[in-house]
Amino acid sequence: MTGAVASVKGSDIVQSSSANISNAIAGRIPGVIANNRSGRPGDDASTILIRGFNSFGGGTSPLVVVDGVPDRDFTRINPADIENITVLKDASAAIYGVRSANGVILVTTKRGKTGKPTIQYDGSLGVQQLTRLPEVVNAWQYMTYYNEIKPNTYTQADIDKYKAGNDPSYTSTDWIHEVFRKNAPQTAHSVSVSGGGDNIKYYFSGQYLDQSSNFSNSIEHYKQFNIRSNIDARVSKNLKVNLDLAARREDRVYPTYGVNSILHEARSLYPFIPVRWPNGSLSAGVSNGRNPVILVTGDPGYDKIKNYALTPLAGFDWQLPFVTPGLSVSGYASYDINLRNEKIFNKPWDAFSFNRTTGEYANQKTSTAITSITQDDRLTYASTYFIKLAYDRQFGAHNINAFAAYEQTSSNYSQTYAYRKDLLSDQIDQIFTGNAEGQLATGASAQDGRASYLGRLAYNFDNRYLAELSFRYNGSFNFPSNNRWGLFPAVTAGWRISEEKFFKNNINFINQLKVRASWGLMGSDAVAQYLFLTRYQLVSNKNYYTYFGNDYALAPSLILSSTPNPDITWEKQDTRNIGFDVTFLEGKLNITADYFRYLRKDILAQRSASIPLYTGMSLPAENIGKSLNRGIDFSAVYNNRKGALQYNIGVNLTYAKSKVLFRDEAANVPAWQRSEGHPIDSWLVYETNGIYHTKEELDGSVHLPGARIGDLWIKDTDGNKSITSNDRVRKFESATPKLVYGLNLGAAYKGIGVNILLSGQAMAKQMILSQMQGSLIAPPKWLYDGRSTTDNPQAQYPRAFNSNDSYNSIYADFWLKSAAFLRLKSVEVSYSLPVQVYSRFGISSLRVYASGYNLLSFDNTKQYGIDPETNNITGVNYPQSRIFRAGVNVGL
């Protein structure tokens, strides 16, 4: 192997308690930057970058290839089915052509092995908890805070009553803690059967996963069912065929209100409104019955999304020794189907208002919602054909490995959408009971296609000198027909110095040493479709509908999707990598290190910063950007055994720093706001000297008109004696870290096993500013306690403010906090019971384990009640999860 390639085994992946595989690779693979932004069941995937950012207009996500088929979702595969996950980081990915530049993740599923059939069962029970929840103010603090924003909003008499807390009708509600619960169960069962003889090998498996939500009394729920059958058959001496069938059903049940609306409501609702009135009836919130405790339940209806993924693949491998030894033809075809079926049922719910003066309750049900049904079916079918002619042979010290292949992929998408409201009754949740008046029926369609000729020639001499030459000649539907084919070549080379005599004879503390280098030209076509065409689309945003006539009839209207760019082409990346692999201590210590340099050209971005707004154009992406991304990744693994104790220690580290070489920026943008010469990702913020503590500070500095003591002290960067957006400065750290690392510890002793994974990141910053969420947002305790008031001008934080405050609710370095952390990502303790205990029951292995995910975190954001991995500025989102789990593996 001569490229920068890293992988993780399936046995490591199953150690993670997280239901989503993307979370299991964080910290495991050098070069991979994975960040989890939410732990919401069914919506808990990590964003993955390979060696950081290279583009700022087009996509940055790697291509995922599962068992040879691109674009399959790997995050929901049964973890027990994964043989390994391999990441191609450098020019070794160039063979994926126009989709390779962001790196490639290859996922391989398990197959049967020759031998006795084995049955493996794994079952676990877990509890999910939220890693962090903000502590917010109580009723009297809320009233005090908002009185400071707008005097006399609340009377002192009322505040005093809430403060005294001895009047049962003056209570305080902590809405966030009412909406969430501490523990939410999670269950998973999986079973597999595998084995095979000389002619047939098989691997069958099934998985059931059931995740509840941390919303209290909520209908929110995620379930997943996976089945798989990978069969290999030897038809004749030279011909093998395989048939892989996998199917998955994902069931998501969500409340009708979106998670962000519910949490916005929970943070914006007055704490002095109770969840329930004295008579036990649920309160109506502040308007339209939007009490978030109700919104998470099934009372307002439901939003059910069922996703069915069917991924069949048939392949063959025909060895042709009768033509010439080492020659073979192989190929496969797949027809993936994904059906997403969504049904939303809205109905009014009971919620009461209470009139304090008359003591009467009134049901606000009529104003909560009207009944409606939405059905939304989306069907995607994708096909892949691959055929390969390979030649694999050794002549003395010369090893040749070559192939030529053709690949073709296409997909087709269609959506059917139907809506009816004013159902006959909310007793039957079926669309035919809705009113034809106001009904809506519509849909959408899309398709894509790519074709490629590819090949590789690998040669090594005596296992000392290794070289590989590869190319892909790739065509993409997404570019004009006269300009849609591109050639993506790559060269990699390696030298196993340790095989040289001079080395072998002189250096014996090094067992193996290989140096590698690679170069490749890679492409990325991850950009909106059809930008080369002038396209007119029907207006589908209701806010821009047009009506004519005495009956207000809807008139069709067309919009130009964007100004065409006939010259569009793919992004190109000059990808270079050098690295070495070295082994010490008789193979116990393995170290791999790589340095990379990616020069991305023709980055697809809009000239949205320089073209005047008065042109009125809606801009297409153009090939205008250029960036350089450099960094290192490194891993060291030490394995040893001492008597019955077997242990391993692994560390890995990734550092990637990008630099913009050209980006569209306005002609007159000030130097301190330019991103050219700096990393791609940044925050644009006002710099501050903290907050104003004294009148002298205020009077003696340039400030916004109307600024007061307790406001942010914004620096007049441009020195023009007034605070304008010109004063904002770019800060080149974002929520995506530039440095990530992992530490792996494992030990096994007489059936007892311990595996620990710590993962961390540094050089990342996140804005934390809850008040930007809204005008009624309840401030967190830390902001309340530390706020500036007339009595406490020497405070740490600004005076009381909300989202309408243009002095403090602004992007400022004051609110920018380090997102560095070191967290105990995963721990597993297991015990394999001695065979004699259960062998008479026909059981061949029995192992019990307990594990945890996100158990501990050392970071800077704990004081704000925010998980350091968030990228949500106001913190009003479904937080990350911590999971405790116990389970059993049984082998038969």
Partner 1 sequence: MKLKILAGIFLSNTILFSCSKVLDKAPLDSYTDQSVWSDLKLAEAFANNIYNVLPTCTYDWGKSINRSFLLSCAVDEGYNKFDYAGIRSVITKGILSPDNAGDFDIWAKNYSHIQNANIFLSKIDAIPGDEAFRKRLKGEVTFLRAYAYFQLVSDYGGVPLIKTPFELNSDFKVPRSSFEETVKFIVSELDLAAGLLTATGGGTATGRITGPLALAIKSRMLLYAASPQWNPTNDQAKWAAASAAAKAVLDLNKFSLYSGNYADIFTTFNPELIGVRLSNKQYNWSAFAGVEMMNYPSGYHGWAAFAPTQNLVDAFGTANGKYISDAASGYDPQRPYQNRDARFYANIVFDGRSLGNPAYVDWRKSSNNPDGTLAEFFEGGLDSPQGIDTWNNSETRYTFRKYMDTTYDFNATTQTNKFWILSRLSEIYLNYAEAEFYLGHEATARQYLNLLRNRAGIGVGLTESGTDLEKRIRNERQVELCFEGHRYYDVRRWKVADVTQNLPIGQVIITRAQNGTKTYQYKDLEQRYFKPGNYLLPIPRTEIERTGLPQNPGYN
Residues in the chain, total: 892
Tell me the backbone φ, ψ of residue 493, rounded to 5 degrees: -145, 150
Q: Is 856 in the site for partner 1 (CB under 8 A)?
A: no
> Between 425 and 794, whose beta carbon lies closer to partner 1?
425
Please choose, from the candidates 210, 239, 415, 400, the residue with its C-alpha nearest in 3D space to the C-alpha of residue 315. 239
Q: In what helix (H) or strand (E) does residue 371 lie, and over which residues does it extend?
A: none
The residue among 451 and 850 lying less far from partner 1, judged by its C-beta, is 451
Strands 63-66 and 104-109: parallel
Binder to partner 1 among 243, 247, 310, 320 (CB under 8 A)?
Answer: 320
Question: Rounded to the nearest whole angstrom, what is the least distance from the CB of residue 190 to partner 1 in the complex?
Answer: 37
Selected from 109, 242, 307, 476, the binder of partner 1 by CB under 8 A is: 476
Which residues, 6 or more positions from 856, have their beta carbon under 8 angstroms from its beta carbon?
Answer: 823, 824
Residue from the set 245, 457, 539, 651 that interacts with partner 1 by CB under 8 A: 539
Q: Which stretch binds partner 1 (CB under 8 A): 381-389, 488-496, 627-635, 653-661?
A: 381-389
Q: In angstroms, how far is CA 291 from the centroid of its own chain?
A: 30
Q: b/e for 819-854, b at 16 or more Cβ within 10 A?
A: bbbbbbbbbbebebeeeeeeeeeebeebbebbbbbb
Q: What does the per-residue mask of binding to partner 1 show for 687-716, with x meaning CB under 8 A?
A: -----------------xxx----------
Among the listed ranges 197-205, 250-258, 400-408, 866-874, the one in contact with partner 1 (CB under 8 A) is: 400-408
Considering only CA atoms, which of 351, 350, 215, 230 is closest in space to residue 285? 351
- Interacting residues with partner 1 between 716 and 735 (CB under 8 A): 724-726
The answer to the question of residue 238 lying near partner 1 (CB under 8 A) is: no
Q: How far apart are the first and last CA of the chain?
A: 37
Distances (CA, A) of 371 to 234, 252, 253, 302, 347: 59, 21, 18, 12, 4
When the beta carbons of 438 and 587 are compared against partner 1, the nearer one is 438
Candidate ranges 102-110, 536-544, 588-596, 817-825; the one touching partner 1 (CB under 8 A)? 536-544
The window from 69-77, 316-324, 519-527, 754-762 that contacts partner 1 (CB under 8 A) reads 316-324
Site for partner 1 in 746-785 (CB under 8 A): 775-776
CB of 862 to partner 1, least distance (A): 32
Least Cβ distance, residue 564 to partner 1 (angstroms): 8
For partner 1, which is the closer residue by CB, 394 or 534? 534
The interaxial angle of helices 139-149 and 156-164, nearest 10 deg, is 160
| Comparison of 217 and 557: residue with beta carbon closer to partner 1 | 557
Residue in the block written with tokens 């945890």 = 852
Which secondary-structure segment (H or E) carries 716?
none
- How far apart are alpha carbons 340 and 251 in whole angstroms? 10
Among 614, 719, 790, 836, binds partner 1 (CB under 8 A): 614
Q: Select from 104-112, 230-238, 551-559, 853-861 the region that touches partner 1 (CB under 8 A).
A: 551-559
Burial of 737 (0-12, 13-18, 19+ CB in 10 A): buried
Q: Which stretch binds partner 1 (CB under 8 A): 128-136, 174-182, 374-382, 439-447?
A: 439-447
Residue list 258-297, contact with partner 1 (CB under 8 A):
270, 284, 286-288
The answer to whether 190 touches 80, Cβ cutoff 8 Å, is yes
C-alpha 45/C-alpha 66 separation (Å) is: 17
List the one residue from 79, 206, 475, 753 that touches partner 1 (CB under 8 A): 475
Element (H, E) at 861: none
Residues 806-825 that bind partner 1 (CB under 8 A): 806
Total of chain residues touching partner 1, rule CB under 8 A: 108
Amino acid in the structure at residue 616:
G
Binding part of the chain for partner 1, among 185-193, 374-382, 501-509, 550-558 by CB under 8 A, reads 550-558
385 binds partner 1 (CB under 8 A): yes
DSSP three-state, residue 280: coil
Closer to partner 1 by Cβ: residue 447 or 863: 447
Where in 331-360 is the site for partner 1 (CB under 8 A)? 353, 355-358, 360
Residue of 336, 363, 335, 359 whose CA lies nearest to 350: 363
* Subset of 643-672 contacting partner 1 (CB under 8 A): 666-669
Subset of residues 63 to 82 that bind partner 1, contact rule: CB under 8 A? none
Among 200, 235, 397, 554, indicate the residue that binds partner 1 (CB under 8 A).
554
Q: Which of 166, 505, 506, 550 binds partner 1 (CB under 8 A)?
A: 550
Pull the structure tokens for residue 113.
């092995």
**Least distance between partner 1 and beta carbon 412 (Å):** 9
Binding mask 415-434 for partner 1 (x = CB under 8 A): ------xx------------
Q: Which one of 235, 444, 644, 835 is in contact with partner 1 (CB under 8 A)?
A: 444
Nearer to partner 1 among residue 353 and residue 512 (C-beta):
353
Tell me the three state secondary structure of residue 334. strand
Specify the residue, 199 or 618, whose C-beta has the smaller distance to partner 1. Answer: 618
Report the DSSP pairing between strands 435-461 and 465-476.
antiparallel
14-39 burial code (b ≥16 CB/10 A, e <16): bbbbbbbbbbbbbbbbbbbbbbbbbb
Neighbour-count burial of 678, counting CB atoms closer than 10 A to its CB (0-12 exposed, 13-18 middle, 19+ buried): middle
